Structure 1
Amino acid sequence: MKNTQVTLVVPGTTKIEEVPVPKPGRGEVLIQVDTVGICGSDVHSFESGPFIPPKDPNQKIGLGHECAGTVVSVGEEVEDFKAGDRVCIEPGVPCGECRFCHEGRYNLCLKMDFMATQPNYRGALTNYLVHPASMTYHLPDTMSFLEGALVEPASVGMHAAMEAQVGPGKKVVILGAGCIGLMTLQAARLMGADDIVVVDMMEKRLEMARRLGATATVDASREDTVSACKAILGELGADVVFETAGSRVTAAQAPSLVMRGGKIMIVGTIPGETPIDFLKINREVSIQTVFRYANRYPMTIRAIAEKRLDVASMVTHIFPYGESQRAFEESVKNKADIIKGAIEIKG
C-alpha cells in the first residue's frame, strides 16, 4: 500500500507528499479514506494559516477533518470493527480524563486532539489514517461515503439546535446560509420549529435554504435584515437567533432580532470584538456559544440514513484528490458559487 497526504506548505500552497502507511495501535482502526468534506476552517487554514498556529515552525500541517472510508485493519482489543466496514469518524480525540470528559462534555476537553489543528495537525486528506475505534462509527448501507463525511458538519447543526432547545412553535432566525447554517436549518426543522427565516447575501445559498425547509429567506444584500425578519415573524422577533456566518456584522444584528426571553446562539467563529447593546437584551435574553458537538453522531447518522436530513444536496463541487490545490483555490475564489465542496480520495 502507498500512502500520501496533503500538506500546507505556506498559506495558499499545498503539496501531496508520500508518507508511511500508519499502523493501528491498541484500540485503533486503519481506514482507507474515500471522501473528505472541505470545511470553512480548512479554507481559512489554506488562505491564512491555521486559526491556532503550531508552536513549532517545522510542524507539518494537514488539512481536512470531515471524512469517511473503509476499515482496512484493526489493532488489538478492537471488537466492533473489521476489514471492509464502511465508517465515518469523529475527528476529535478527547483525553477521557479531564473534568469535561467525565461530565460527558468531551468537546470541551482540555487536551483535545482535533484533526488539522493542535496539537498534532494531522489531516484527513490522506489515503490512509488511523483513528480510535471509540470515535469511529459504522455507516448504514443506505448512506454514501459523501454523506458519511458530512456527518461531522451536520452534527454541528444538530448540536446547536439541541442546545438552543428548538421545538414546536418556535420562531427561528439563522444568520448565514453556508454549510453550517443549512445544517442548523435542517436540525431546527427536524425539531419542529414553525418559522425558520434564513438570512444571507448570496442567492444560490438562499435558494438552497428554501429547498431544505426554510419558511422564508432574506437577501441581506438588498434588504435590511432586522426590518425584513420582523416583517415576517412579527415585532417580537425570534425565539432563537443562530449566528452561523462567523461575522461581527451578523452577531451585532442578533440582539435586534431576538425576542424577550429568547436566546442568541453563536455557532460561527467570530474574529475580534463584537459590540453588544445590552439595553436591547436586558429582558432575560440568553447568549450562548456552541463548540463543535458532543454525543451527537449516532442521532445524526440515523437522521441522514432515514433521509430526514439531506446533506448531499448542498454539495455543489467535488474535486479529485490529485487536484486538492485547485479545490482550495476554487473554495477561496468562488465562495458565491460553492455552497459545499468535497474531495474524493479514491478513484
Structure 2
Amino acid sequence: MPKEDEVLIKVEYVGICGSDVHGFESGPFIPPKDPNQEIGLGHECAGTVVAVGSRVRKFKPGDRVNIEPGVPCGHCRYCLEGKYNICPDVDFMATQPNYRGALTHYLCHPESFTYKLPDNMDTMEGALVEPAAVGMHAAMLADVKPGKKIIILGAGCIGLMTLQACKCLGATEIAVVDVLEKRLIMAEQLGATVVINGTKEDTIARCQQFTEDMGADIVFETAGSAVTVKQAPYLVMRGGKIMIVGTVPGDSAINFLKINREVTIQTVFRYANRYPVTIEAISSGRFDVKSMVTHIYDYRDVQQAFEESVNNKRDIIKGVIKISD
C-alpha cells in the first residue's frame, strides 16, 4: 500500500528507452555495488490510480496519471534552485540507488512527482511524456525561437522528440540528420524542413547548404555518437549553441579551434519542471508522440520486446509495452 504521501498506480503502458535496452544488453550505466542486486527496467510509464496515501490531496482512485521517474532529495542546493534533475541523490527508476523499474503491474510513487492526464490523452501518450520532456527541456534550454535555424543530429526517439519540441517553440527551419531511412521519413512527416541521410550525402556540405554557409543557430546532438559530436562544431554558426542531448562516449573528441568564436556547448540532463508544458503540448495536438510508436508488445512478450529492440534498431523507432488495460 502507498505511504502517506504516495499514490498506488496500476501501470498500463511502459515505453522502452535506449537506457533500458542498454540495461538489458549490458547492465545499467551505473552498476550496483552489490553484484546480487536485482535490477528492474522501465521508467516511462502511465496508468490509473487505485489507492492514495492519507496525506494525498491531488489524486483519487480512478485518475489517469503519469510520473516523473526521478525523485530528488528536495533539500540540496540544486533542488532548492529548481535544478532537481541534477540532484546528486536523485532516486531514478531502474538505476541507483534501488534499481526499481516500472515494468510491473503496480507501483507506488510520490504525489509531488505524479501528474494527472487530461481527458483527451490516453495512458500510452502519458507514458511517452517522459522522453518528450527530454526534447522539450533541450529546446527550452537552447532558447529555441521563431527564426532560428536548427540542425538535429540523430532521428531516434529523442531526436524526433526534440524536433517536435522545437516546432512547438516556433522554429520552422529544421534539418534532421540520420543514417536510417525509416527515421528520416518519420522526421519529414513530423515537420522537418530538410532530412539528410549521412550514408548517402556529405552531412557537413549538405548542412552548410541548408544554412547558406552561415551555420545553424543551434545544433542538437541526440544520437549519442562520437561521430556526430565531432561533426557538430562544423555545423554551428559563430556565437551559436551546441546542445549535447545524447549520452555521448566519454572520450569523444571536439575540435576546439572550430568553436573558439563564442560558441556555447551545453549538455542536457533529463528535464526539470517540463512535464506540465509537455503534457499541454501533447494534449493540444501540437506534439504528436503516438505516431512515433512503431511497435506495441504485450507484457507477456517482454523478452521478445527487448530482444527485438536490441536486434532490430533499423525498424523500431519507439516500442512500448502494454501492461494492462
1:234 aligns with 2:215: no
The Cα shift of 1:232 comes to 1.6
The Cα shift of 1:76 comes to 1.6
1:309 aligns with 2:316: no
Partners of 1:30 and 1:72 within 8 A in 2: yes
1:86 aligns with 2:64: yes
The Cα shift of 1:340 comes to 0.3
Cα distance in 2, alignment partners of residues 135 and 241 from structure 1:
31
Cα distance in 1, alignment partners of residues 203 and 87 from structure 2:
36
Q: Deviation string for 1:147-205 (max 9, x for gaps)? A: 00000000000000000011011000000000000000011111111310000000100
Structure 2 partner of 1:95: 73
2:272 corresponds to which of 291, 294, 301: 294
Cα distance in 1, alignment partners of residues 90 and 196 from structure 2:
38
Cα distance in 1, alignment partners of residues 119 and 78 from structure 2:
34
- The structure carrying a bigger strand percent of its residues is 1
Cα distance in 2, alignment partners of residues 274 and 108 from structure 1:
22
Secondary structure, in 3 states, of the residue corresponding to 2:11? strand
Cα distance in 2, alignment partners of residues 299 and 151 from structure 1:
10
Structure 2 partner of 1:165: 143
Query: TM-score normalised to the size of structure 2?
Result: 0.99
Partners of 2:220 and 2:244 within 8 A in 1: yes
Structure 2 partner of 1:246: 224
Cα distance in 2, alignment partners of residues 195 and 106 from structure 1:
32
The Cα shift of 1:236 comes to 1.1
Secondary structure, in 3 states, of the residue corresponding to 1:61? coil
Aligned length: 325
1:318 aligns with 2:296: yes
Secondary structure, in 3 states, of the residue corresponding to 2:290? coil
- Superposition map of 1:100-179 within 5 A: 100-179=78-157
Query: TM-score normalised to the size of structure 1?
Result: 0.93
Matched residue type, 1:207? I
Structure 1 partner of 2:25: 47
Cα distance in 2, alignment partners of residues 47 and 198 from structure 1:
28
Structure 1 partner of 2:321: 343
Matched residue type, 1:282? N
Structure 1, gaps ≥5 residues long: 1-22
Cα distance in 2, alignment partners of residues 145 and 97 from structure 1:
31
1:68 aligns with 2:46: yes
Secondary structure, in 3 states, of the residue corresponding to 2:9? strand
Structure 1 partner of 2:188: 210
Q: Deviation string for 1:102-124 (max 9, x for gaps)? A: 00000011110000001011000
Structure 2 partner of 1:334: 312
Secondary structure, in 3 states, of the residue corresponding to 2:7? strand
Partners of 2:14 and 2:103 within 8 A in 1: yes
Partners of 1:32 and 1:127 within 8 A in 2: yes
Matched residue type, 2:226? R
Q: Deviation string for 1:317-345 (max 9, x for gaps)? A: 00000110000000011000000000000
Cα distance in 2, alignment partners of residues 69 and 138 from structure 1:
10
Matched residue type, 1:260? R
Cα distance in 1, alignment partners of residues 161 and 229 from structure 2:
19
How much is the aligned-residue C-alpha RMSD, in angstroms?
A: 0.7
Matched residue type, 2:196? V
Partners of 2:50 and 2:62 within 8 A in 1: yes
Identity of counterpart residues, as a percentage? 70
Structure 2 partner of 1:219: 197
Partners of 1:195 and 1:233 within 8 A in 2: no
Secondary structure, in 3 states, of the residue corresponding to 1:100? helix
Partners of 2:168 and 2:281 within 8 A in 1: no
Partners of 1:36 and 1:67 within 8 A in 2: yes
Cα distance in 1, alignment partners of residues 18 and 31 from structure 2:
16
Matched residue type, 2:114? T
Matched residue type, 1:237? G
